[in-house]
Structure 1
């Protein structure tokens, strides 16, 4: 009897095993350093992902596959999206599914205005009736220094971050977002990471992440890790 009681009390002292976070990882429409990108996600402890490439990813979302995951992570740059697929995205936000958008995902769905409201901004590509001075810009291979604008579980432990990456300029960013990282790079938009609320979903956007030179950075991996964990708790 004493042994049973001892085992009972010891069970409260042993920390419970953390549950694995299940991520639906979506790519497509833009080239990237594939091997290093997946190595990065393989090495994020406690995070299990399943990869879907466009256009199959959107078909899977429309079929209800996203319900099996805790967080959706988008590293795609996709334009074609059917009415059924749009409704699936909106239904996910109504149900509070958290989204994390990375880098070139900001350029997706140029002809779907609601996507701008979901992600919290828009990279504007050339299109009819769009003046040249409204077009967004990009610059490869530059050092980007940023400081934390707001401390949250995503930016916890950081003060400054530095990546050799790509910047986007002249980007529309909603006044409703909570800025997380701010840069003064002359060719970049001011805020390069933010949190947005859309319907019942928490949405994060992180602009750095162009290629393997950023994937291997310890601070970038920590930023992704904390972002995914924060969203999973939402």
Structure 2
């Protein structure tokens, strides 16, 4: 693979070192502090890869050579003008199938929920979907999703005995972005919740933002959302983790966020 950067433990490969592929691209982020956070766990050898090279790695099967893949990306959306889905590149769907058949651990962070919106199978894999525009999921019509930047809220662990929440405070406060979106609650196991009120009057319309009307909800409503902001599930042989908190430079150094991230990688890779 080209355009890759090695982070963290660069010693020679050992039996207890986890090989992790960290994928970004398609969404802006504070690059240096985010990558520094992923350098801080010396039990991980992290290879950072951006799209479109990361798309190729999924499609050609090379991503399946890792113990775990972490997604902090948002591919599959045409950024020119109002957002619209792009056709799934050849091999991507098959590549994700190869990941789950091999049992590669999959960890999805924050805006990765919004990736590959033209493919419903991706929403089933992650456990939900962020809609840029009104759409259908499992035959149910949904409006475009909602967002709210820079919001102070409390996160509470609801699965204190799960390996992903080990070492995480039972309740901690964070300033972060929140989403109002379609959640597939019947196929996930909850980990953490937020005390925020997930009603449309507290969020802004993504569809309006795509038309140039940021921080606007005129004419927009959305069903009341779940307060779940982190969960796990399994598909084929893969363990899957989604963690919504932890977007933005202010949260990258939070020990609770890092614990959720790194525990998530180890649990997904079956190294707890």
Q: TM-score range by the shorter chain?
A: 0.7 to 0.9
* Kept in 1: contact 2:20–2:69 (CA 8 A): yes
Which deviations, in whole Å up to 9, do the C-alpha atoms of 1:22-72 show, x marking residues without a partner?
A: 110100000000010010001112111111111110111222212331100
Instruction: Give how far 1:195 is off.
Output: 0.3
* Kept in 1: contact 2:239–2:269 (CA 8 A): no
What pairs up with 1:44-83 in 2 under 5 angstroms? 44-79=41-76, 80=86, 81-83=88-90
- The yes-or-no answer on 1:212 pairing with 2:245 is no
Output the CA distance in 1 between the equivalents of 2:151 and 2:191. 20
Q: Which residue of 2 aligns with 1:105?
A: 112
Select which of 172, 191, 210 maps to 1:161: 172
Instruction: Give how far 1:127 is off.
Output: 4.4
Unaligned runs of 5+ residues in structure 1 are 1-16
* Kept in 2: contact 1:24–1:66 (CA 8 A): yes
* Kept in 1: contact 2:59–2:90 (CA 8 A): no
Deviates more, 1:184-193 or 1:52-61: 184-193
Deviates more, 1:51-60 or 1:22-31: 51-60
TM-score (norm 1): 0.86
Output the CA distance in 2 between the equivalents of 1:128 and 1:49. 35
* Kept in 1: contact 2:134–2:143 (CA 8 A): no
Instruction: Give how far 1:95 is off.
Output: 1.9
Deviates more, 1:148-157 or 1:125-134: 125-134
Q: 1:140 to 1:68 in 2, by over 3 A?
A: same
TM-score (norm 2): 0.75
Instruction: Give how far 1:129 is off.
Output: 7.8
The CA RMSD over aligned residues, in Å, is 2.1
**Structure ranking higher in helix proportion:** 1
- The yes-or-no answer on 1:124 pairing with 2:161 is no
* Kept in 2: contact 1:60–1:66 (CA 8 A): yes
Output the CA distance in 2 between the equivalents of 1:161 and 1:22. 30
Task: Decide which structure has the larger Cα Rg and report it.
Answer: 1
Deviates more, 1:205-214 or 1:218-227: 218-227
Q: 1:84 to 1:206 in 2, by over 3 A?
A: same
* Kept in 2: contact 1:168–1:189 (CA 8 A): no
Output the CA distance in 1 between the equivalents of 2:61 and 2:182. 32
Instruction: Give how far 1:211 is off.
Output: 0.8
Output the CA distance in 1 between the equivalents of 2:229 and 2:107. 14
Unaligned runs of 5+ residues in structure 2 are 1-13, 77-85, 199-224
For the residue of structure 1 that corresponds to 2:268, the secondary structure is helix
* Kept in 2: contact 1:144–1:167 (CA 8 A): no
* Kept in 2: contact 1:183–1:189 (CA 8 A): no
